[in-house]
């Protein structure tokens, strides 16, 4: 039972992170029907910015609590800026091009960003300081839910609730929903669609950066390649829940986290990544619209 | 004036963006911070210049589009005019053929080796070109079929001592078989879903090769794979390398021949129609599933076959040769060369594989440039280096003969 609970919570932690990154995929797909292949790299860049800022602040002797806040804020700002720039350079000139073009452009962007970070930082793993201070709040259950697990789960939950409220009640959120439903109509009623798309990229990237800093601090090391696997897994989560649906991304993230955690715990840890990929292939074959998604209508 | 302001802003923006990644390096173990602010300054200058170029190119592209819309006649470039003219076409072809045959006599063993790998990529590119260029199915796991071919030869050679010449068709068959196996369930997915599934499939194959240690020797790979026997010829090491080159050359010519025939055949036309509009295609009565499956498995056949050659050439393979990046390289060959165009893919492979080889000092920037090229090509020149020219039947003479009676 204890082992089960341990796996359950480690799955919950993983799942929360996947869900955070998956939201970026789902939001972008919902609005412009593009798989933003470079989204995993945004997450990676967020983690790197967090590392750099944390390193600089430590060398100036800032207190630990302020470092995590400032590093996260810097990571969010930078990831959002990168997301905005990528959209402007690689996707905006391709509006209205055949579907394959923006996808290839996105893959190119992803390769470019990976190598950009590899060449300017290093290809080795860099150790990431543990930014989340240890606090014992569970007594003897401490081994199951560490303090960083707890922080990750809580932060992810808060962020998701906030995002849902944002989409439901703010002006921009309403504009986003309208654009997702019908871009031309949204334009006709006076919504600045370019602005909405930019905002979507900015928000999605900011969420990925939160995930990046949290997971980097949890695992303790990063390198230029972490975005690739995390990106694919988050994409799996998005597809699992139904791409385009925000609650779907959260649900998908959690299911994927638990699947991985239980499969590695009870089956074999060698094939950790295979489980995620196999799940992805299975979903796409049997239910490509995902759990909460709607099957797309083909228009002639 | 407006341009200057925009460029200054772009320059500042990129300096801001690159500041933490390029400008600072921290080591959290010994708590040291190294600043490289000079790099950020270079980025600023480069962004300033490039932003002018960017705007110029965008404007030119827009003008080009407008001109094309107004002219409404398909513009024939000088290059493609030259290609059609038999006075230039045939001598050029003979010169290239002569050069290709004489290559091992003219250059060193190293050069021959490099050229052989470039030719391997030519065939891979042409294979993927069937799937992506002609049929419009984005396959990001193409390298998996390449791995299937390479591993099938390596394993069959290791366990049963099967020779290269037997393995070559077997590798092709296995490639085709895996293509069908994967294609069957996933081909009803739309473009971008298909891309991700094939990517996942490629990664699964690689991870299995890596983790199934008892069968595939895991990450350490398989070494001492037998080089092919050339029926008593080519006993020495040098001669074997030359023969490997000629073998690849023959394979390339064979591939070009087959792909060219396929492209202008009934099925090739069906692929291109499918690429343009799936629904209209179905309405025309084309069996969508069969056509897609054909493209997928034919592409995989070439990958499987070249995989066998690759294993024989390097005599050592491990899963690290079959990562997603390899798929991306092959894809960028197809994209840069010009999707659908055979000549374009050949040029693309030679440029992308030979250029980094001869510019050693740039080789670590290879993937960076690949990525950037893919984006830039898509934005400014989606047709690639060589635009695919469709074979057309000129019926104006017939019309004239009929005296315009039917118009």
Q: Residue B391: helix, strand or coil by DSSP?
A: coil
Closest to A77 measured CA to CA, from A232, A169, A174, A213: A213
Could you tell me if A298 lies within 8 Å of chain B, comparing CB atoms?
A: yes
Between A144 and B286, whose confidence is greater? B286
First to last CA, chain A: 54
Interhelix angle B324-337/B109-128, nearest 10 degrees: 80
Q: Tell me whether residues B364 and A119 touch, CB distance under 8 A.
A: yes
pLDDT at B83: 63
Residues of chain A positioned with their CB less than 8 A from the CB of B22 = 120
Note the pLDDT of residue A82: 93
- Residue B325's closest chain A neighbor by CA? A111
Q: Report which listed range, A168-182, B268-282, B331-345, B376-390, is most confident.
A: A168-182
> How far is the alpha carbon of A219 from chain B, nearest alpha carbon, in Å?
14
> Does the beta-carbon distance from B328 to A34 stay under 8 Å?
no
- pLDDT above 90 covers what percent of chain B? 0
- Please spell the DSSP secondary structure of A64-90, one letter per residue: HHHHHHHHHHHHHHHHHHHHHHHIIII
| Secondary structure (DSSP) of B175-213 | HHHHHHHHHHHHTTS-HHHHHHHHHHHHHHHHHHHHH-H
CA end-to-end distance (rounded Å), chain B: 55
Q: How far is A141 from chain B (nearest CA, A)?
A: 31
CB contact under 8 A, B189 and A129: no
- Minimal C-alpha gap between A113 and chain B (Å): 8
Tell me how far apart the alpha carbons of residues B198 and A238 are, in angstroms, rounded to a whole number: 17
Q: Is B262 exposed, middle or buried (0-12, 13-18, 19+ CB in 10 A)?
A: middle
pLDDT in tens, A39-70: 999 999 999 999 999 888 888 888 877 888 89
The pLDDT score that the predictor gives to residue A289 is 75
User: Which of the two residues, B215 and A80, has the higher pLDDT score?
Assistant: A80
pLDDT at B210 over 70: yes
- How many C-beta atoms lie closer than 10 Å to residue B4's C-beta? 10
Q: How far apart are CA A156 and CA A19, in angstroms?
A: 8
Q: Report the alpha-carbon distance of residue A250 to residue A213 in Å, rounded.
A: 19
In this complex, which of B22, B197, B328 lies closest to A107 when CB atoms are compared?
A: B328
Radius of gyration of chain A (CA): 19
* Average pLDDT for B273-301: 84
Q: Rounded to an integer, what distance in angstroms lies between the CA atom of residue B139 and that of residue B141?
A: 6
Q: State residue A140's pLDDT score.
A: 65
Q: How far apart are CA B194 and CA B180, in angstroms?
A: 14
Nearest CA in chain A to B193: A284
Q: What is the rounded average pLDDT of the residues B49-61? A: 85
Instruction: Say what the pLDDT of residue A44 is.
Output: 92
Tokens of B229: 């026997």
- pLDDT at site A300: 46
Would you call B207 and A239 a contact, using CB atoms and an 8 Å cutoff? no
Do A105 and B331 count as a contact with CB atoms less than 8 A apart?
Answer: no
Q: Average the pLDDT over B17-24 and give the result.
A: 84
Tell me whether residue B313 is exposed, middle or buried, using C-beta atoms within 10 angstroms of its C-beta: 0 to 12, 13 to 18, 19 or more. buried
Q: How far apart are CA A68 and CA A73, in angstroms?
A: 9
Closest CA to B179 of B299, B267, B272: B299
ipTM computed for the complex = 0.85
Task: Tell me, yes or no, if A112 comes closer than 8 A to chain B by beta carbon.
Answer: yes
Distance CA A16, CA A13 (A): 5
Q: What is the least distance, in Å, from the CA of B98 to any CA of chain A?
A: 36
CB B226: neighbour CB atoms within 10 A?
17
Rounded Cα distance between B259 and B32, Å, is 57
> Which pLDDT score is estimated for A201?
92
Cite the DSSP H helix spans in chain A.
Answer: 2-32, 39-60, 64-86, 100-120, 147-169, 171-181, 183-188, 193-219, 226-241, 246-266, 272-286
Residue B72 has pLDDT above 60, yes or no: no
For residue B391 the two structure tokens come to 């074979």
| Beta-carbon separation of A52 and B21 below 8 A | yes
Please answer yes or no on whether B328 and A239 come within 8 Å at the CB atom.
Answer: no
**Residue A193 C-alpha, separation from nearest chain B C-alpha, in angstroms:** 20
The pLDDT-based confidence of B407 (bands split at 50, 70, 90) is very low
**A75 vs A45: CA distance, rounded Å:** 8
pLDDT of residue B403: 65
> What is the distance between the alpha carbons of residues B98 and B113, in angstroms, rounded to a whole number?
18
pTM of the model: 0.85
Which residue stretches of B212-323 are H helix? 213-216, 237-263, 266-276, 278-283, 288-314
pLDDT for B43 equals 86
| Residues of chain B neighbouring A100 (CB-CB closer than 8 A) | 132, 136, 138, 191
Q: How many CA atoms lie within 13 A of B343 on its CB side?
A: 14
| Block residue for tokens 């791409």 | A243
Q: Which of A100, A106, A221 to mutate to test the interface with B (most CBs of B within 10 A)?
A: A100
Residue in chain A closest to B22 (alpha carbons) equals: A120
Provide the chain A residues 189-218 that lie in CB contact (below 8 A) with chain B. none
CA angle (B236, B242, B243) in 5-degree steps: 85
Q: Where is pLDDT greater, at B406 or B333?
A: B333
Tokens representing residue A25 in the block? 């995929």
pLDDT digits (tens, 9 = 90+) for B140-176: 888 989 998 888 888 888 788 777 787 888 888 888 8
Residue A171: count of CB within 10 angstroms of its CB: 8
The conformation of residue A242, written as its DSSP 8-state character, comes to -
* Residues lower than pLDDT 70 in chain A: 136-144, 293-300
Mean pLDDT of B374-390: 77
Flag if B378 and A129 touch (Cβ within 8 Å).
no
Q: Residue A127's closest chain B neighbor by CA?
A: B28
Q: In angstroms, what separates the C-alpha of B209 from chain A's closest C-alpha?
A: 11
Asked if the Cβ–Cβ distance from A52 to B26 is below 8 Å, we say yes
Q: Which two tokens stand for residue A221?
A: 């090391």
Would you give the distance in Å from CA A28 to the centre of its chain? Answer: 12
- For residues A14 and A12, what is the distance between their CA atoms, to the nearest angstrom? 6
């Amino acid at each position: 039972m204890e082992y089960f609970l341990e796996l359950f919570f480690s799955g919950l932690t993983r799942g929360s992170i996947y869900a955070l990154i998956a939201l970026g995929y789902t939001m972008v797909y919902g609005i412009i029907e593009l798989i933003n292949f470079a989204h995993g790299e945004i997450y990676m860049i967020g983690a790197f910015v967090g590392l750099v800022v944390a390193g600089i602040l430590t060398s100036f002797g800032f207190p630990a609590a302020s470092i995590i806040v400032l590093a996260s804020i810097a990571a969010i700002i930078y990831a959002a800026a990168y997301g905005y720039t990528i959209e402007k350079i690689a996707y905006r000139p391709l509006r209205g091009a055949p579907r394959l073009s923006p996808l290839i452009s996105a893959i190119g962007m992803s390769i470019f960003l990976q190598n950009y970070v590899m060449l300017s930082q290093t290809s080795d793993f860099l150790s990431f300081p543990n930014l989340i201070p240890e606090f014992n709040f569970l007594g003897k259950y401490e081994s199951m839910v560490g303090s960083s697990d707890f922080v990750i789960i809580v932060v992810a939950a808060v962020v998701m609730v906030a995002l849902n409220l944002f989409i439901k009640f703010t002006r921009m959120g309403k504009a986003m929903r309208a654009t997702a439903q019908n871009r031309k109509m949204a334009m006709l009623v006076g919504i600045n669609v370019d602005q909405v798309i930019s905002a979507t990229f900015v928000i999605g990237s900011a969420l990925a950066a939160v995930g990046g800093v949290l997971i980097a601090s949890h695992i303790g090391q990063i390198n230029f390649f972490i975005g690739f696997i995390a990106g694919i897994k988050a994409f799996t989560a998005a597809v699992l829940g139904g791409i385009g649906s925000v609650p779907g991304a959260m649900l998908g993230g959690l299911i994927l986290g638990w699947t991985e955690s239980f499969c590695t715990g009870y089956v074999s840890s060698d094939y950790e990544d295979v489980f995620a990929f196999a799940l992805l292939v299975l979903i796409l074959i049997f239910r490509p619209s995902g759990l909460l998604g709607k099957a797309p209508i083909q228009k002639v | 004036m407006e341009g200057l302001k925009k460029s200054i802003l772009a320059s500042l923006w990129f300096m801001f963006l690159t500041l933490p990644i390029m400008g600072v390096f921290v080591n959290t173990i010994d708590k040291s911070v190294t600043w490289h602010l000079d790099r950020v300054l270079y980025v600023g200058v480069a962004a300033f210049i490039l932003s002018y170029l960017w705007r110029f190119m965008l404007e030119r592209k827009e003008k080009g589009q407008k001109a094309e819309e107004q002219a409404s006649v398909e513009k024939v470039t000088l290059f493609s005019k030259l290609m059609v003219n038999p006075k230039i076409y045939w001598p050029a072809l003979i010169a290239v053929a002569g050069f290709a045959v004489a290559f091992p006599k003219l250059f060193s063993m190293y050069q021959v080796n490099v050229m052989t790998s470039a030719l391997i990529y030519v065939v891979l590119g042409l294979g993927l070109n069937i799937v992506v260029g002609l049929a419009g199915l984005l396959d990001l796991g193409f390298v998996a079929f390449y791995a299937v071919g390479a591993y099938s030869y390596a394993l069959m050679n290791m366990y049963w001592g099967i020779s290269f010449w037997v393995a070559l068709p077997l590798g092709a068959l296995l490639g085709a078989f895996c293509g069908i196996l994967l294609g069957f369930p996933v081909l009803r997915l739309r473009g971008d879903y298909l891309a991700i599934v094939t990517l996942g499939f490629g990664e699964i194959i690689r991870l299995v090769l890596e983790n199934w240690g008892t069968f595939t020797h895991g990450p350490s790979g398989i070494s001492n794979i037998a080089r092919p026997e050339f029926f008593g010829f080519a006993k020495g090491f040098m001669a074997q390398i030359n023969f490997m080159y000629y073998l690849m050359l023959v394979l390339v010519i064979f591939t070009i021949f087959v792909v060219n025939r396929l492209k202008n055949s009934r099925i090739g036309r069906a692929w291109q129609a499918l690429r343009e509009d799936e629904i209209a295609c179905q309405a025309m009565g084309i069996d969508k599933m069969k056509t897609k499956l054909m493209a997928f498995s034919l592409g995989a056949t070439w990958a499987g076959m070249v995989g066998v050659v690759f294993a024989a050439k390097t005599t050592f393979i491990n899963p690290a040769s079959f990562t997603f990046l390899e798929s991306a390289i092959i894809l960028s060959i197809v994209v840069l060369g010009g999707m659908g165009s055979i000549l374009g893919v050949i040029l693309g492979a030679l440029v992308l594989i030979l250029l980094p080889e001869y510019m050693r000092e740039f080789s670590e920037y290879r993937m960076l440039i690949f990525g950037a090229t893919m984006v830039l090509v898509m934005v400014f020149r989606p047709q690639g280096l060589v635009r695919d020219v469709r074979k057309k039947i000129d019926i104006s003479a017939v019309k004239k003969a009929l005296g315009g009676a039917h118009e």
